[in-house]
């Protein structure tokens, strides 16, 4: 049995990583929506590798790359008060699964996170398969949220439809209120339903009543 070991990647390793990433893309459930087979994968990889706080770990067997993990340290920000390690991908070629390659990759990522002061390791499973879920669960990962996706054009069309629907409903209600006010001999309703001066008077009265009740 060929021994599998993991280590941090170096710039000279990038060419050997590209074929492994092609396998990752081929198995990703997002592939049909997000992956272009003709994309410059080598260029994408080198651009990613040059990002600040980006790390790539390789699993090797007899100097052959059989697995890869990509991660990035995310510093404390508006949505997180602690730094964390975001694992973008972890992949082991089929012939080398269940032979410790995945755990070796995760061990190196754990060291990266610890040395960078990252208090958590966060990931979104690529395939969502049961085997992948079991692997992560066995290492202590728990479920936090879930990813959702929609085409941008579809989102904009839905927003437009909902806006038009609210506009139609709003016009219908306004017309009904206007007819009722006319039938009762009341003045027309202001465009926003109530004038700002009326709203201020009502609010002032409510605030005054609240103050008196606390005396």
pLDDT tens-digit readout, 134-186: 888 888 887 776 666 676 667 777 777 777 676 565 555 566 666 776 777 66
Judging by DSSP bridges, how do beta strands 64-74 and 54-61 pair with one another?
antiparallel
Q: Model-level pTM? A: 0.65
Q: Which of 98-107, 129-138, 166-175 has the highest mean pLDDT?
A: 98-107
DSSP-derived pairing of the beta strands 120-123 and 64-74: unpaired
Strand order in the sheet with 4-8: 4-8, 54-61, 64-74, 84-92, 120-123
**Is it the case that residue 70 has pLDDT exceeding 80?**
yes
Q: What is the mean pLDDT of the chain?
A: 77
Three-class SS of the chain: CCCEEEEECCHHHHHHHHHHHHHHHHHCCCHHHHCCCCCCHHHHHHHHHCCCCEEEEEEEECCEEEEEEEEEEECCECCECCCEEEEEEEEECHHHCCCCHHHHHHHHHHHHHHHCCCCEEEECCCCCCHHHHHHHHHCCCCCCCCCCCCCHHHHHHHHHHHHHHHHHHHHHHHHHHHHHHHHCCCCCCCCCCCCHHHHHHHHHHHHHHHHHHHC
Which residue from 87, 151, 167 is spatially nearest to 123, judged by alpha carbons? Answer: 87
The pLDDT tens digits for 46-60 are: 999 999 899 999 999
C-beta separation of 76 from 53 below 8 A: no
Measure the CA–CA gap between 90 and 135, rounded to whole angstroms.
Answer: 11
d(CA 91, CA 194): 61
Looking at residue 190, its pLDDT comes to 57
Per-residue pLDDT, averaged over 56-84, amounts to: 90
Structure tokens at 194: 């109530």
Q: For residue 173, which of 148, 192, 151, 150 has the smallest C-alpha distance?
A: 192
Residue 114 predicted with pLDDT over 80: yes
pLDDT confidence of residue 129? 66
């Amino acid at each position: 049995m060929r021994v599998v070991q993991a280590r941090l990647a170096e710039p000279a390793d990038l060419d050997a990583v590209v074929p492994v990433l092609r396998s990752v893309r081929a198995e990703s459930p997002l592939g049909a929506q997000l992956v272009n087979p003709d994309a410059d994968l080598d260029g994408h990889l080198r651009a990613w590798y040059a990002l600040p706080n980006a790390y790539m770990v390789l699993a090797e067997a007899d100097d052959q790359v059989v697995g890869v993990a990509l991660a990035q340290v995310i510093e404390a920000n508006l949505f997180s008060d602690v730094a964390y390690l975001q694992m973008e991908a972890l992949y082991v070629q089929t012939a080398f699964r269940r032979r410790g390659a995945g755990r070796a990759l995760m061990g190196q990522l754990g060291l990266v996170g610890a040395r960078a002061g990252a208090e958590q390791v966060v990931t979104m499973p690529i395939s969502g398969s049961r085997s992948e879920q079991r692997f992560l669960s066995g290492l202590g990962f728990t479920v936090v949220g879930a990813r959702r996706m929609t085409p941008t054009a579809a989102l904009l069309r839905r927003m437009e439809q909902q806006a038009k629907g609210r506009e139609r409903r709003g016009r219908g209600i306004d017309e009904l209120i206007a007819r009722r006010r006319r039938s009762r001999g009341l003045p027309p309703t202001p465009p926003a339903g109530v004038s700002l001066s009326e709203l201020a008077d009502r609010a002032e009265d409510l605030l005054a009543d609240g103050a008196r009740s606390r005396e």
